[in-house]
Structure 1
Amino acid sequence: MFSGSNPATDAHYNSSATDPLVHYGRHFGRTVHALCNFQALLTNGILRMGELADTPEENFTAERVSYFPAEERREHRVFQELLKSVAGLEERLMHGGDDEVDAVAELASIPFFCVCKVICLSHISRQLTKGASGARGDDTKSLKGSVLNWITPKGQNLIPPLARNIKVDHGFHHERTGALLCPAGLDWSNSETKAKLKSSEIIVTGDQWPLFLYADYHYDPEDPWNGLFRSALLVCAYRHVFTSPSSVDREPKATRSGNARIHGMTRVTLPSIAYIAMQIRFSLTSSPVFSRTDTVTDSERFYNSVLDVFEDPDEKQEVNDLIIWWNR
């Protein structure tokens, strides 16, 4: 999965002129959590560290975690991943020097933080957000034309053709993109269903997963996991972002390392699959600008619904099989 290289990589953001936090933020957004509120994540994570300071991590996992709501458990896991991903971040958060004057979060009024001064919280969250948002924007732009190439049958043209810079004719307004975005369980070939999707009489929410997620774009109602997250379109987009655009056709031509290699990534992560699925879904829609709060594309709900399934204990075996398939 990670052979080849990418001419449009994060190498520029790893230079001495760029805050390393931006570099870390780009990879974190792609592989751990794409729509993270870093300010809230850091603030809540620091508070939780104080609360759990005397609790061994293994005890927290086995005993204390059940007392937190599911959303908070996920936030804690994401926070722990952030601490592991960014070298020296925990030390910087907990013991920053007075010369770091960008922003100060003073929690001395809280008993278990009476001696803890958190420095530069706003600066850290701002730089991480800059990295994650920048990577997402770069990938959205880069994938826009490529997705159209991948969904066009070889040797043929889409009829009518799809514009590359204007998306008004995408989504349910076009036969090809509409078929790929059609929720599993609905029949795009049914003229009444198609008309209702086009007119928005049928409102598609983010937790209604589209057919492009499935191998051969086929949904099996008797076995919903059959082919799920194994489509050729997902694989192409994943290679495009993490390895190189040229690696999609297995013809590496670039000279610089791809994003996966730059960040030392050797295995596919589940959140990175959700991230690529979110990017493809947006690319196929008629919405011109990505927004996590856009109720039309409902991207945030879609992304979180995928993470919910990946983290569901009842789906553990299927999820394990999926990650083995991606890392084969």
Structure 2
Amino acid sequence: MAQGRPGRSPNPLISHGRHFGRTVFVLCNYPSLLTNGILRLQQMEDTPLEDFAAENRSEEEILHVGELIGKGASGVRGDDTKSLKSAILDWISPKGAAIQPPLHRNSKIDRGFNHELTGSLLCPAGLDWHDMETRENLRSGESLVCGDPWPVFLYAHHTYDAEDPWCGLLRSRLLTCAYKHTSPTYIATQVRFALSSSSVFSRTDTSTDSEMFYHSLLDLFEDPDESKEVDELLTWWNRYGFPTSSAAKRPISANSALSKIQIKQLATKNAADSNVIVTSP
């Protein structure tokens, strides 16, 4: 039986870019990343930059490689954006009812603060969407929403507690639905964009300020003073996303090899602790 002509394999750098953009870092200047990486290697290995192979250090090659990786990252971001644009309407629809007035699946012009439902979800936490003046200021643009005032949809039950801003943060049903749909690391940024009226996802778009929003969440996760809350949040997501993993704290089967290893390890530790000699200062 004759087989069709096989399609061209994608450039490996584009494939790497798709992976990097979805699982590592979505909004990145890839030529700058590569240049800094080469300089870091030079410092770590104490190797002069001119000793690196020409293809690893020429500006033209760095730009070319960066463009290919960026193409892959942009492509996967576009795929997720297109997919979420329609799917998100199913998740925000009132139970047993249709969205009123209707929102179009293939157009975003009537989303954002232009619509009662998407506007209420995008309303910055701490503001009252039901306040007429607040709503009109958001719709007119008089109240400019940058990336760091986080929208209320990030919170469980879309409820923000000003006295405890960590309560329910990044635990909303909307985020979990989107996670099951695409599973990228930047899902909060994609959901925010899907609810907005902007038609093109861009790192430099000042109207959505997606880069600031993305980095503001990263800054929170990387803040050592918030490590306890971050660990609790990550544990919550591990239990949600991987219910059969060790994070779910499943009981260990009795008489299994793992249980015997742990029992032996505990006995060894207890014996070592009992042999510790305590001396007075």
Normalized against structure 2, the TM-score is what? 0.78
Q: Verify: 1:188 aligned to 2:124, yes or no.
A: no
| Equivalent position of 1:93 in the other structure | none
Normalized against structure 1, the TM-score is what? 0.67
| Residue from 33, 52, 60 that aligns with 2:44 | 52
Displacement after TM superposition at 1:123 (Å): 3.4
| Equivalent position of 2:48 in the other structure | 112
Displacement after TM superposition at 1:222 (Å): 1.0
| Equivalent position of 2:229 in the other structure | 318
Q: CA RMSD in A?
A: 1.5
| Residue from 175, 183, 208 that aligns with 2:116 | 175
Distance in 2 separating the partners of 1:285 and 1:192: 20
Q: Give the 3 Å change call, closer, same or farther, for CA 287–116 of structure 1 in structure 2.
A: same
Alignment of 1:1-328 (within 5 A): 17-53=9-45, 112-119=48-55, 120-242=61-183, 272-273=184-185, 275-328=186-239
| Structure 2: gaps (5+ residues) | 1-6, 56-60, 240-281
Distance in 1 separating the partners of 2:193 and 2:170: 16
Question: Which structure has the bigger radius of gyration?
Answer: 2
Instruction: Give the residue type in structure 1 aligned to 2:73.
Output: A
Distance in 1 separating the partners of 2:159 and 2:238: 22
Q: Deviations over 1:91-135 (max 9, x none)?
A: xxxxxxxxxxxxxxxxxxxx8223222414333222211111000
Q: Deviations over 1:264-321 (max 9, x none)?
A: xxxxxxxx44x10110101111111111111111111111111111111111111111
Instruction: Give the residue type in structure 1 aligned to 2:177.
Output: C
| Structure 1: gaps (5+ residues) | 1-14, 55-110, 243-271
Q: Give the 3 Å change call, closer, same or farther, for CA 51–144 of structure 1 in structure 2.
A: same
Distance in 2 separating the partners of 1:325 and 1:198: 35
Percent of counterpart pairs with the same letter?
58
Number of residue-to-residue matches in the alignment: 228
Distance in 2 separating the partners of 1:16 and 1:166: 33
User: Higher mean Cα deviation, 207-216 or 21-30?
Assistant: 21-30
- Deviating above 4 A after TM superposition, structure 1's stretches of 4 or more consecutive aligned residues are none
State the secondary structure of the residue aligned to 2:45: coil
Q: Deviations over 1:250-272 (max 9, x none)?
A: xxxxxxxxxxxxxxxxxxxxxx4
Distance in 2 separating the partners of 1:123 and 1:204: 36
User: Higher mean Cα deviation, 125-134 or 171-180?
Assistant: 125-134
Per chain length, whose mean CA-contact separation is higher, i.e. which structure has more relative contact order (CA < 8 Å, sep 6+)? 1
Distance in 2 separating the partners of 1:210 and 1:27: 27
Distance in 1 separating the partners of 2:176 and 2:54: 42
